[in-house]
Homo-oligomer: A and B are copies of this chain.
């Protein structure tokens, strides 16, 4: 007859471990965290006791007492988006070996949700915060500044960084993508996007800049949904319906580009024979697709890695900031098979 003590499933605490090892709590604590401070004999006894009891340290209490939580907070607009895979991986690569936990919260591309996520995060007292994007609400900015921890804004270059800023010019990148198509001789260059974030808008600005420069007509279609492969196809359909003369499109990201590519295949259009396609981000699929997708490669891994390393340096170095508070990591245009010169068609 077993009686589950559901009201008080008393947990194994450091106290229990200490008692079993017949040492004081302090010693037990040290034996586990700083073995070198404790004699070999006791160290073994404590370890044995801890293992026997399956002791799991209470990080809450530990963090509260030591005022160091050993974690950093990351807020990204989406986990779904392949863009943030490399980004998160880089952060893990840097912090996990340093024994720092990475807490990820999702803002769903909504400034309001981001503010909430930032406040929640701050309530956990992370030792630093990494933000994807630069458009925080004023209240969030204030809270972040007041927290007195390193804050790294990434993905874009900010006019007024909160603290540290590592990114690239989304507008320049958008310009480069569009320009690539104009340089190939295209004059009817369309644009499709799912502009949920400020970065998409900046890329569009870049596109418009190129359009003006070449005296072309802006041809844009967008949808206010999380970008998906399916939307890529639909948006291409709309674009072609409105501007049948289109010979090239710049897609706000690679998923849209992939959807557009599939739509072309469905319609029997040759890519790039009938339509040139350039995407954005250089996700894995861009290189593997057939035809492979021209795109803009953004240094997502590198960006997050640098962010992580700067944070480690600040934390380790007692809070001193590096001299360079803003870093432009640039981007690369990757011309693959999906873009070709105008006129190859005939």
Q: Quick check: is A56 within 8 A (CB to CB) of the other chain?
A: yes
Q: Quick check: is A285 within 8 A (CB to CB) of the other chain?
A: yes
Residues of chain B contacted by A287 (CB below 8 angstroms)? 230
Closest to A88 in B: B79
Which of A113-157 touch B at CB < 8 Å?
Answer: 119-120, 122-125, 142-143, 146-148
Check A262 against B233 for contact (C-beta < 8 Å): no
Most buried by B among A120, A148, A319: A148
Besides the contacts A56-B119, A59-B124, A80-B89, what 14 more A-B pairs have beta carbons closer than 8 Å? A6-B148, A12-B146, A56-B122, A56-B143, A57-B123, A58-B125, A60-B69, A61-B64, A79-B79, A82-B82, A230-B284, A230-B287, A230-B288, A232-B288
Q: Chain A, 277-296, contact with B by CB distance < 8 Å: what is the 0/1 string? A: 00000001101111000000
Check B85 against A80 for contact (C-beta < 8 Å): yes
For this complex, 18 residue pairs linking A to B, each with C-beta atoms less than 8 Å apart, are: A6-B318, A6-B319, A9-B148, A56-B123, A57-B123, A59-B123, A59-B125, A60-B63, A64-B64, A79-B89, A80-B85, A92-B106, A229-B288, A230-B288, A233-B288, A262-B289, A262-B290, A263-B290
* Interface set of A (CB-CB < 8 Å, partner B): 6-9, 12, 54, 56-61, 63-64, 67, 69, 79-80, 82, 85, 88-89, 92, 101, 103-104, 106, 119-120, 122-125, 142-143, 146-148, 228-230, 232-233, 258-259, 262-263, 265-266, 284-285, 287-290, 318-319
